[in-house]
Structure 1
Amino acid sequence: MQTTSEIILRALRRIGVVASDEPATADQTASGLDALNEIGQSFRVNGVQFDMPILGPATQMPIDSPCLAAFQTILAARLAEEFGQPGPDPAPAWAQIAAYYYEPVLSGLFDLTRTASQRRRHSIIMCPGFAGAPPAPPPPPPIIPTAWTDATPWSDAAAWDDSIQWSI
């Protein structure tokens, strides 16, 4: 496992803020740590079931190794905005993390109020197609304009066009 400082340093190097042979400054590390905590808190909002506590600079990252590079890409994209540098596209990284950690909400599958024993009779009787349900009303007839037809002489058509009142 890598520490948060190592991940921040790699993200800063990826966007070209820190050279490969120098360490990050305290301000750069603090900005990276703030961005890292914001990203960790936004996982829950995006449907990824992943709890990431507030991290410090020496905290071990609770990220599984298949998603570590994707997490660094997301951090690099966030820091690139802050430092005014061109950054990587975070969309594939978000997709990789979502595919790895996403858990669908299964509330509808185990909802005991929707079982056969809990259905109410009125909901079945009122559904068209069941025995005892009233027939569905016929669809309304199509609206056919009566003021203009092919048999209308042109003089009447000009009068009909002038009688239209436009309102906006």
Structure 2
Amino acid sequence: MERTRDEVALRALRLLGVVASDEPATADQAQGALMVLDSVWAEVRDEAQATWDIATGVPQEAFVPLANLLAAEMAGEYATPAPMTRPRAKLRLLAVIRKAEPRDCCDVDPCADYGAGARVVIVGNSTSDVWNDGGTW
């Protein structure tokens, strides 16, 4: 079941302790949270290449990560601690949006630099990770 923008905004306000679990948000609180949500979503949508949009519904698996990101973004406005840091909340949301695609173990470029000086070396029919200087991970 998909969730609405209003539900995401309310969840973020509850995470911050601005709204109690048994009460609705005021019109001003809801409007402010929705404005920030639209801004945060515009940032994440393009970066993550999302195939869905919050205007039509938020998938269940993205509901909590998106609410956490919204809460992290709004925490300063309410002078309250965020449930998690903004970078962590954003990474959690990106992980949900960009599900890892399965890769063939041999789908590597032996000449590519995969970060931190590491390269994938193909030995026979298997791959192993080694440092450029020959040391293993």
TM-score by length of 2: 0.60
2:93 to 93, 97, 119: 97
Q: SS in structure 2 opposite 1:82?
A: helix
Which residue identity does 2:61 align to in structure 1? Answer: P
Structure with the larger strand share: 2
Larger Rg: 1
Contact 1:41–1:52 under 8 Å retained in 2: no
1:84 to 36, 54, 79: 79
Q: SS in structure 2 opposite 1:12?
A: helix
Number of residue pairs matched by the alignment: 97
Across the aligned residues of Structure 1 and Structure 2, the Cα RMSD in angstroms comes to 2.3
User: Structure 1: 5+ residue runs without aligned partners?
Assistant: 104-168
Alignment identity in percent? 35
Measure, in 2, the Cα distance between the counterparts of 1:64 and 1:21: 24
Contact 1:17–1:83 under 8 Å retained in 2: yes
* 2:113 corresponding residue in structure 1: none
CA gap of 1:52–1:36, structure 2 versus 1, over 3 A, is farther
Measure, in 1, the Cα distance between the counterparts of 2:94 and 2:80: 26
User: Structure 2: 5+ residue runs without aligned partners?
Assistant: 100-137
Higher relative contact order (Cα pairs below 8 Å, separated by 6+ residues): 2
